[in-house]
Structure 1
Amino acid sequence: MKIFYAVQATGNGHIARAKELIPYLQRYGQVDVFLSGNNSNLKVDLPVKYQSKGLSLFYGNKGGLDYWKMAQELSLFNIIKEARELPVDRYDLVVNDFESITSIACKIKRVPSIGFGHQASFKSKLTPRPISKDRIGEYVLNMYAPASKYIGLHFEQYDNFIYSPIIKEQILAANPTNQGHISVYLSHYSDEVVASYLNQVPSQRFHLFSSFHLFSKKEKTVNQRGNIIYMPIDNALFTQSMINATGVITGAGFETPAEALYLNKKLLCVPIKGQYEQLCNAAALQNFGVPIVSTLKADFTKQIENWLNVTTQKKLEIEWSTASIVEKLMEEAASLQEQKEIIDPFELNHLSLKFR
């Protein structure tokens, strides 16, 4: 079997998940990766055969999205051109982890695909949302990368096609300890902004991971200043820090909160401003007893102190192993092969005609 696996490289979660998933997919055949996006901080150690700048999200340094940079990077003409050239029709199975070019390519070439990953879980109306829904956010979650079928991942099994988070083997095999520090990863804020608050809790030690390094954006070593140890972005380093931490402060993404809850670490989340998916995750995390901080402001230091003193949270239980999730994925793939007709998930005729 030849498997085409589209990986969204916006942020680190999709790549981290792909690293865990690919060895299981390779049990069923050859896996070729299409990497789309250019702003992940993780080292990409994947069988990448195709690559694109894609449609990437970029963040400022004060908690929100950088819409100007996102607009500068967007080229609709190139996206359609790349979609036409992407050889999805040469593969037995297309697995799409929220990647739009692959979705367009499958539409144009009438190739069925399976939408896989966290975003796929939002195809269910039962998946938690914030009290105030965002129509544009809902549209993006539903129409950014439509597929023929879906395998969703979330904190709990809200629907029959939603399964457990894929947790790294290093986390699954860990013996968590409490060495007294807090692991902090807030990539949507600069180190200077985050440190200005952490310095106000001098009795607490912090490990601060960020792509905006206080000393140098090219800094590759560990540096300490006061009660903060500044760490370069490194998957293994962050994982080890989290395993031995008292708690974790991070955005309201998916992979890192899932790992923290699985390790039964205290968790505090600061969602990225303007990113609807993180607001949805925040709604789900509140059901675990996780405090949500909308933005860093004057009382953030007090919120940290309260969280350290009184927070109790529910541990994340893993009901589906990675191997069993891949088995379900292959069952869906087999059912796609049996179908004689595939219903188009969305209409792009006007785009395909325009760029002929």
Structure 2
Amino acid sequence: MKILYSVQATGNGHISRAMELLPYLNEYGDVDIFLSGANSSLDLNFPIKYRSKGLSLFYTCKGKLDYTKTAFALSPLRLRKEVKDLPVEKYDLVLNDFECITAMACAAKKIPSINFGHQASFYSANTPRPKEKSKMGEWILKNYARAPFYIGLHFQRYDNFILPPVIKKEITRAQPAAKDFFAVYLPSYCEHIMEKYFHPLSPVRFHIFSWQTKNVKRSGNITFMPVEKALFNDALINCSGIITGGGFETPAEALKLEKKLMVIPISGQYGQQCNAAALEQMGINKLDKLDDDFTGHFNDWVQTKPVKINYDHSTEDIIANVMKLSIAHINKNNSYDLLTDPLLYSLH
């Protein structure tokens, strides 16, 4: 079987998930990778067949999406050419992790595809949303990478087509500790802004992962670290708690490790607002932004206990379900239902 796996690189979460899934996906056929976007700090570490700038997201230094810079980076003519040139018709199965060029190419060439990933879970009305819904945000989530069929991933099983998170093996096999530092990953904030709010918390120590840092460096009670897989995994496993954005993979891994977790979703990024709403329902602390009240919020948060959730499933089980569903869909065998599959019960 020839498989095209399209991965959105507007953040490190999609790349991290792909790195974990690909060894298992390769067992089902010959896999070619299409990587789209330019926001990831991680290397995929697998051969990439097709590459595109796609739609890249840009941020201000203060935790917000930079709409102007994001819009100016768009190139409609380039996108049109890439849609035409992407040979989706050569593949038996197209798995698409929220990538718009693949979705448009499949629609134009009438090739069936599977939207597989976290964003696919938002096609369920049961998936948590913030109190104030965004009409534009909802439209983007449901139209950016449309497909005939969806398999979602989320913190909990809100619907029968939603599976639990993909957790890296380095995390599932880890023996977590609680050393005297907190891990921080807030990619939409610049270092000088984070210094303003984390320096006053001295002598509490922070390991802050920053896209601006190429080598480890110290700044008072802060150690700035480059966004590298091994360094980040080690910090996540050994920290006393983690402060991060409203993404999906990092909060899921923090939950798996039973770490204290605080989320600060990126302003203007509706998917992160939705994730934060889901985490709030689970008892996780959420802030709207870093501001002058952060010291008080932090001091209250460190007194809380971690939320416990059971993530005992394996990535191999997730891929087995995905492939079973995908092949059934491609063969138009709609009798297969994820809800009734005995394998799914190990994924609850």
Cα deviation, residue 316, structure 1: 2.9
1:102-130 CA distances to partner (integer Å, 9 max, x unpaired)?
Answer: 00000011110110110000010000011
Using structure 1 for the length normalisation, give the TM-score.
0.91
Using structure 2 for the length normalisation, give the TM-score.
0.93
The equivalences for 1:18-167 within 5 A come to: 18-167=18-167
Cα deviation, residue 7, structure 1: 0.4
Letter in 1 for 2:248: F
**Aligned length in residues:** 334
Task: Confirm or deny: 8 A CA contact 1:3 1:91 kept in the other structure.
Answer: yes
Structure 2 SS opposite 1:27: helix
Q: Residues 141 and 298 (structure 1 numbering): CA distance in 2 closer, same or farther, change over 3 Å?
A: same
1:167-212 CA distances to partner (integer Å, 9 max, x unpaired)?
Answer: 0000000000011100011110011111111111112111011113
Gaps in structure 1 of 5+ consecutive residues: 214-219, 342-356
Task: Confirm or deny: 8 A CA contact 2:182 2:242 kept in the other structure.
Answer: yes
| Equivalent residue number for residue 338 of structure 1 | 331
Gaps in structure 2 of 5+ consecutive residues: 335-348
| Equivalent residue number for residue 260 of structure 2 | 266
Take 1:340 and 1:302, find their aligned partners in 2: how far apart are those partners? 56
1:119-143 CA distances to partner (integer Å, 9 max, x unpaired)?
Answer: 0000100000111111110000000
Q: Does 1:315 find its partner at 2:308?
A: yes
Q: Does 1:329 find its partner at 2:322?
A: yes
Query: Which aligned segments of 4 or more residues in structure 1 are displaced greater than 6 angstroms?
Result: none
Task: Confirm or deny: 8 A CA contact 1:288 1:313 kept in the other structure.
Answer: no
| Equivalent residue number for residue 297 of structure 2 | 303
Letter in 2 for 1:333: S
Take 1:118 and 1:340, find their aligned partners in 2: how far apart are those partners? 24
1:31-61 CA distances to partner (integer Å, 9 max, x unpaired)?
Answer: 1000000121112312210001101111111
Structure 2 SS opposite 1:34: strand
Percent of counterpart pairs with the same letter?
51
Q: Does 1:238 find its partner at 2:224?
A: no
Take 1:278 and 1:221, find their aligned partners in 2: how far apart are those partners? 28
Take 2:175 and 2:305, find their aligned partners in 1: how far apart are those partners? 20
| Equivalent residue number for residue 188 of structure 1 | 188
Cα deviation, residue 319, structure 1: 5.1
| Equivalent residue number for residue 250 of structure 2 | 256
| Equivalent residue number for residue 352 of structure 1 | none
Q: Does 1:276 find its partner at 2:256?
A: no
1:77-123 CA distances to partner (integer Å, 9 max, x unpaired)?
Answer: 22121111100110010000000000000001111011011000001
Letter in 2 for 1:7: V
RMSD: 1.3
